[in-house]
Structure 1
Amino acid sequence: MELISKLIQEDINNNSTLKKLYSEQGTKLDLAIVLVNLRKDIGWSKTQLAKKLSIPRTIIEMIENGDILPTMTFLRLLAYVT
């Protein structure tokens, strides 16, 4: 992990615009891990959670894959369902 952190820092030092991109990606992955763990703690599949939230399963998949950040609407729905 230390090597990855060093490489990321070198990238940022060489290109300052990467700092924001790395930060955003880190946030996406952090939230993805939280959602996966929450869903598994509850014992629901992606399909079950999507049905409970009345959203497409693909949204759950994209958040859990770190492709997108959850919206505030999603987070509110999640808070009320769990």
Structure 2
Amino acid sequence: MSLISKLIQEDINNDSELEILYKEQGEKLEFAIAIVNLRKDIGWSQVELDQKLKVPQTTIETIENGDVLPTMSLLRSIADVTGKELRISFV
């Protein structure tokens, strides 16, 4: 177990409500990484993706910063404008 994992577990042991917050932040990070990687693979900037999606200029920035989770609707739109297939899986 890594040091950060140990620290997180200690936090959770001290305050069980933190488990939900850590899980939510982890989900935000996973979406952020996926969208950054997709965007870089196709060579688009955040602004270009925002423009293609016809959303406010900071939409992708806030997702990639881990500030918000993207909606299913936005994920479908990202798949459409990038020519990719959206897949969601339970593991």
**TM exceeding 0.5:** yes
Q: Does 1:29 align with 2:22?
A: no
TM-score by length of 1: 0.96
Structure 1 match to 2:80: 80
Report sequence identity in percent: 67
More helix by share: 1
* Cα RMSD, aligned residues only: 1.0
Alignment of 1:1-82 (within 5 A): 2-82=2-82
SS of the residue corresponding to residue 57 of structure 1 reads coil
CA distance in 2, matches of 1:57, 1:24: 24
TM-score by length of 2: 0.87
How many residue pairs get aligned? The number is 82
Q: 2:33 corresponds to which letter in structure 1?
A: I
